Amino acid sequence: MSVAASTAVREAGHGHRVSPLRKRADQLGDRMLFGICVLAALIAAAAIVLVGYQIIHGASPAISKFGIGFVYETTWQPNFGEFGAGVLLFGTAVTSAFALLLGAPIAVAIGLFLTLLAPGHVRSVIGPLVELLAAIPSVILGFWGLLVLAPFVHEHIEPFLHGAFGFIPIFGDPQTTGLSFFTAGLILTLMVIPIIASISRDLFQSVPPELQDGAAALGATRWEVVRGIVLPTTSSGVIAASILGLGRALGEAIAVSQVIGAGFEIKNSLFETGNTLAAQIALQFPGALTELHKASLYYCGVMLLVIGIAANLLAQWIGRRFGYAGAVAR
Amino acid sequence: MSPASVPDPMAPLTPSGNLRRRQLVSRVAEIAATAAAVLAVAALALVIYSVVIRGAKKISLDFIFTAAPTGVGPMLLGTLEIALIATLMAMPIGVLIALLLTEYSSARVARPLKLVLDLLNGLPSIILGLFVFALLVDHKQQSGFAGAVALAIIELPLIARGSQEVLQLVPGSLREASDALGVARWRSVLTVVLPTALGGIVTSTVLAVARAAGETAPLILASSNFDGKSFVLNPFEAMPNVPTWIYKLSEEGNSEGFNEAWGMSLLLVSFILLASLGARALLARSKRKLSS
């Protein structure tokens, strides 16, 4: 740091007056560095546009053949050239909603634990550990889900839930394997928790301590401080964080394709096999039979892209519109 | 005078009635929050435990350095090379974007640029796979390079955001000192600002690489070479790599393949965890140094 500064000093302090040539060179240098930086930004922007264009272009045969009906039609028969993404859309919605309903409360609780309950040294260990959960590659999480989690779910959790709540149709009869919406949802839960937890922790830390101390001084218990001060001031941010987590769950292809069992019907039980938009692309694209088959998978990609970007923009809008924007925009 | 209006001096000091209920609710909430944290850490521990227990018996020098069927050397080499090419593409662009945001920023530029970075960050990786397939693979051939382009897009927003955070911590006094000496802007950026932030930039890059190294979805479409018997150095051919190989083995369902996949998972997870833990510690240190 000081070495770099002194180098600059030596270089700059050559003459008493800056020569015109040097001045010209510096002007040129300034423009060039700025120009290169702008160029880099343009490349990033172009990447977004190009991604959108290529995906839509790839989908165009399917779009012109099936139109908007593709989104809700439920036949997917590559051999007969008939494609509809209804089942996949259903599976995507079920697994992501499952992950969010289970994961968001847990993640918010972790955020609360890290900001309000944990002593400093515990916080500095648990916080990074939770974030490390996000660092485990999805293929390994999926592989673990396939060989460790799915058998456990099949042998223990499914019979238990069916026994206790079997009168609700979503907890139907256990199937032959543990590959199901349920297992996929659990894996996705593990993926959304670190995202929502780390954002909510940052949000909770930004709640003014005076407000919390004031409530505590009035006799509020810890839970009442959370319920009355912390959560209301950060609720928009928590919602935005959950939407970001949802975006992650919607787009996960690999891990889901490993544990969801590639079913092709809409079932009302969570223990049945199913499929999602992203997983279908990962499973079928490498062995796609026809150009139309490929185009249909691109069409699934278009749907994912639209849902994903909409979720992202919505999260940002909520974050900006309802305050605490800085903490969410990351 | 009714006896009820006089507080009983012998009453116990422990809370009763409503207060007791409220404290109980609070206590339950505290326990629930602690349990949630324990649950998440337990899940992480369980995954890592399974990978270590089942993967450790496969690890040997032969496993790491020889080709199939005894080892997975070509896949490791492929992953290494693809990640390297991706980083060579993503790092300069990411750092330049960070410079634009911190050194030349005006709100008019910064807001849309941050939006672009957020959107890039939010793109599902399978979409990037479709993208590079359409752009570089379709009607041509699969290549490690195509995979590297997809990984570069994944790394780019992470590097840009990380570098920006570090660059913002470079003390303004350094820039002012440089300005006061009559140093041109570009010179002070290149000789003062960047060298000061270099450590933080490198560690953010390592974090981005750790994230990209395990990405599977783009590579399935861009570089799925399931030969594994020979080392491939040419990035314009399909290169075998660790994530797609694990994916393939997990789909095949034979137990010997599963063992091999556990072994590779252990190698990949150890690299990723060590890299991200190390980079985090270094990043925290260099941020502390910069802000003090």
Looking up tokens 């590579």 gives B219
Model pLDDT, residue B225: 78
More confident residue, B124 or B67: B124
Tens of pLDDT, residues A5-27: 455 445 554 445 667 888 888 88
- Put simply, the chain A residues between 140 and 179 with a CB less than 8 A from any chain B CB are 140-144, 146-148
d(CA A101, CA A106): 9
At residue A41 the predicted structure's pLDDT band, cuts being 50, 70 and 90, is very high
User: How is residue B25 written in tokens?
Assistant: 């609710």
Chain-centre distance for alpha carbon A13: 52
- CB-based contact, A290 to chain B, within 8 Å: no
What ranges in A113-205 are assigned the alpha helix state H?
A: 120-132, 138-144, 150-152, 158-165, 181-205
Residue A44 pLDDT > 90? yes
At residue A302 the predicted structure's pLDDT band, cuts being 50, 70 and 90, is very high
What sign does the dihedral A98-A99-A100-A105 (CA atoms) show? positive
pTM of the predicted model as reported, rounded to 2 decimal places:
0.88
Query: Among B148, B164, B156, B169, which residue's Cα sits nearest to residue B201?
Result: B164
Nearest Cβ partner for A8 among B23, B123, B191: B191
Give the H or E element holding residue A82.
Answer: strand A82-83
- Mean pLDDT within A308-312: 90
Residue A72 pLDDT > 90? no
Q: Mutation target for B interface from A51, A126, A195, A230: give the one with most B CBs within 10 A.
A: A51
Tens of pLDDT, residues A188-217: 999 999 999 999 999 999 898 898 999 999
Residue B247 pLDDT > 80? yes
**Inter-chain contact A1–B196, Cβ cutoff 8 Å?**
yes
- CB-based contact, A46 to chain B, within 8 Å: no
Model pLDDT, residue A18: 66
**Inter-chain contact A45–B116, Cβ cutoff 8 Å?**
yes
Can you give the three-state secondary structure of chain B, one letter per residue? CCHHHCCCCCCCCCCCHHHHHHHHHHHHHHHHHHHHHHHHHHHHHHHHHHHHHHHHHHCCHHHHHCCCCCCCHHHHHHHHHHHHHHHHHHHHHHHHHHHHHHHCCCHHHHHHHHHHHHHHHHCCHHHHHHHHHHHHHCCCCCCHHHHHHHHHHHHHHHHHHHHHHHHHHCCHHHHHHHHHCCCCHHHHHHHHHHHHHHHHHHHHHHHHHHHHHCCCHHHHHHCCCCCCCCCCCCCCCCCCCHHHHHHHHHHHCCHHHHHHHHHHHHHHHHHHHHHHHHHHHHHHHHHHHHHC
User: How is residue A264 written in tokens?
Assistant: 């092709």
**Inter-chain contact B160–A7, Cβ cutoff 8 Å?**
no
- CB-based contact, A304 to chain B, within 8 Å: yes
- CB-based contact, A238 to chain B, within 8 Å: no
Name the average pLDDT for chain B.
88
d(CA B56, CA B63): 11
Model pLDDT, residue A325: 40
- CB-based contact, B265 to chain A, within 8 Å: yes
User: How is residue B42 written in tokens?
Assistant: 């337990």
Chain A CB contacts of B156 below 8 Å:
44, 47
Residue A50 pLDDT > 80? yes
Q: Is A217 exposed, middle or buried (0-12, 13-18, 19+ CB in 10 A)?
A: exposed
Query: Among B227, B211, B80, which residue's Cα sits nearest to residue B144?
Result: B80
- Mean pLDDT within B62-84: 86
**Distance (Å) from the alpha carbon of B208 to chain A's nearest alpha carbon:** 10
- CB-based contact, A310 to chain B, within 8 Å: no
**Inter-chain contact B120–A48, Cβ cutoff 8 Å?**
yes
Tens of pLDDT, residues B8-19: 778 777 777 888
3-state DSSP assignment of residue A83: strand
- CB-based contact, B47 to chain A, within 8 Å: yes
Tens of pLDDT, residues A247-300: 999 999 999 999 988 777 787 788 888 889 999 999 988 888 888 999 999 999
**Distance (Å) from the alpha carbon of A18 to chain B's nearest alpha carbon:** 9
Tens of pLDDT, residues B23-56: 999 999 999 999 999 999 999 999 999 999 998 8
**Distance (Å) from the alpha carbon of A172 to chain B's nearest alpha carbon:** 26
Percent of chain B scoring above 70 in pLDDT? 98
**Inter-chain contact A33–B189, Cβ cutoff 8 Å?**
yes
**Distance (Å) from the alpha carbon of A15 to chain B's nearest alpha carbon:** 11
Looking up tokens 């799915």 gives A150
Exposure b/e, A187-215, CB count within 10 A at least 16 = b = bbbbbbbbbbbbbbbbbbeebeeeebeeb
Residue A2 pLDDT > 50? no
- Mean pLDDT within B183-200: 89
**Inter-chain contact A286–B93, Cβ cutoff 8 Å?**
no
* Bridge partners, A76 (sequence order): A83
- Phi/psi of residue A210, nearest 5 degrees: -60, -40
Give DSSP secondary structure letters for A3-26. HHHHHHHHHHTSSSS--HHHHHHH
The highest-confidence range among A61-75, A97-111, A313-327, by mean pLDDT, is A97-111
Query: Among A152, A157, A198, A158, which residue's Cα sits nearest to residue A175?
Result: A158
Nearest Cβ partner for B100 among A38, A138, A308: A38
- CB-based contact, A101 to chain B, within 8 Å: no
Tens of pLDDT, residues A115-173: 998 888 888 889 889 989 988 999 999 999 999 999 998 888 888 888 888 788 778 77
How much helix, strand and coil, in percent to the nearest 5, is found in chain A?
A: 75, 0, 20
**Distance (Å) from the alpha carbon of A269 to chain B's nearest alpha carbon:** 24
- CB-based contact, B221 to chain A, within 8 Å: yes
Asked if residue A149 lies in contact with residue A189, where contact means CB atoms within 8 angstroms, the answer is no
Chain-centre distance for alpha carbon B85: 17
Model pLDDT, residue A328: 41
d(CA B92, CA B227): 33
**Residues sharing a CB contact under 8 Å with residue B58, sequence separation 6 or more, in sequence order:** B259, B260, B262, B263, B266
Chain B CB contacts of A9 below 8 Å:
181
Model pLDDT, residue B2: 53
- CB-based contact, B131 to chain A, within 8 Å: yes
Name the average pLDDT for chain A.
86
